[in-house]
Chains A and B, each alone.
Chain A
Amino acid sequence: MIRKLTMVLAVLLAAAGSTATVFAEGVVSLRGPTDLVEPDSAPELKHFAKDGVPIPRDYVQQPPLIPHQIEGYRIDVNSNKCLSCHSWANYREAGATKISQTHFEDRDAHVLANISARRYFCTQCHVPQVNAQPLVENTFRPITAISGQ
């Protein structure tokens, strides 16, 4: 009986050991092969593109990306730096894209006289870009209607 139990235990242990090895070899985490207890080197800092032309959209209803730096642009209860160029009153003079008409609607689709509170925090949807390669490869392609291919 005891011998049988020992054998079962040994088999289980061996199985556990081998699966552990399989995992260690087969799966590499995003942080690379660095051991858990080793401190990982910090990734290189990415810098936002200073200035550029509007970036084409990749899918329908994608919030347009911000093709310029926005460092230090505050959005608070007193003012919104983005709107000093992108508001309907200012976009012509600034040569900026105007904010969409949808941004003037509240959640019940009532059209307001000024930007809606739920659209006020631009960076909730619109983000500036850095030249960063995807961490995981993918085969995503923009749809034909948008990419024009």
Chain B
Amino acid sequence: MSNDNTSECSNFVCRIWQAFRRPSVRYSLGVLLAVGFVAGIIFWGGFNTAMEMTNNEEFCISCHEMQDNVFEEYKETIHYSNRTGVRATCPDCHVPKEWHHKVVRKIQATNELFHKAMGTIDTREKFLEHRLELAKNVWRAMKKTDSRECRNCHNFESMDFARQGRRAVAQHSEALDAGKTCIDCHKGIAHELPDMRELDPTMVVGVAE
């Protein structure tokens, strides 16, 4: 009884599990390895391909929330149109390049799917209502990673201060010394800013209540 318990197994799941545990009697180790190897490539390649399909601008703006709000604003900015024609797309700034950071971000994005289903920002008004909170989320993430996604293209080490304007030299030198990160100053460069009253009341007209 102890050396053969397969006969006791009558339910389907149990039988599968037994077959899974038992050494193969029909296929050679070579065949199993070869099949496993090929299946691995297909699975892994498929996984990455599927992930990359969700990692381009077309995918991002296939939802009207992105297309009508942030993408329209982004088209006005230098990251969309500029003299050299180098263009950043949504994932260049909003999805990490390194694999494990990317997977973590993609898992977090399931929360966005939930809110898509709930229709949290499905009108312009709702979007504007949530704008400050959404912006703060992105700022917090960028602050935490030392503006990692900015630095895929812009690096303090590669910046030639001699070629920058007066203001840029002064501010970049100071920022470098103070250990600041890109997003500390460069907010609202690719999308419009939310109501900034809370963060800096002196840069908005009127007096905060």
Interface residues of chain A, those whose CB is within 8 Å of chain B, are 50-53, 68, 71-72, 74, 76-81, 83-84, 87-90, 94-95, 112-117, 120
**Residues of B bordering A, CB below 8 Å:** 76-78, 165-168, 170-171, 188-189, 192-196, 200-207
Give the nearest-CB partner of B78 in chain A.
A72
CB-based nearest B residue for A117? B205
A51-B194 in contact (CB<8A): no
- Among residues of B, the one whose C-beta sits closest to the C-beta of A95 is B170
Partner of A114, one of B77, B167, B188, B207: B207
Q: A87-B202, A114-B206, A117-B206 are in contact. Are A68 and B195 (CB under 8 A)?
A: no
* Distance (whole angstroms) from the CB of B163 to the closest CB of chain A: 11
Complex interface: chain B residues within 8 A of A53 (CB)? 166
Tell me whether A72 and B77 are in contact (CB under 8 A): yes
Verify B192–A72 contact, CB threshold 8 A.
Answer: no
Complex A-B: 13 CB contacts under 8 Å: A51-B167, A68-B165, A76-B192, A78-B194, A79-B196, A83-B204, A84-B200, A84-B203, A89-B200, A95-B170, A115-B202, A115-B205, A117-B205
User: A94 to B189, Cβ gap below 8 A?
Assistant: no
Task: State the Cβ distance, B135 to closest chain A Cβ, in Å.
Answer: 10
Within 8 Å CB of B194, what residues of A? 78
In the complex, what distance in Å separates the CA atom of A9 from the CA atom of B187? 74
Q: Which of B167, B203, B207 contacts A79 (CB 8 A)?
A: B203
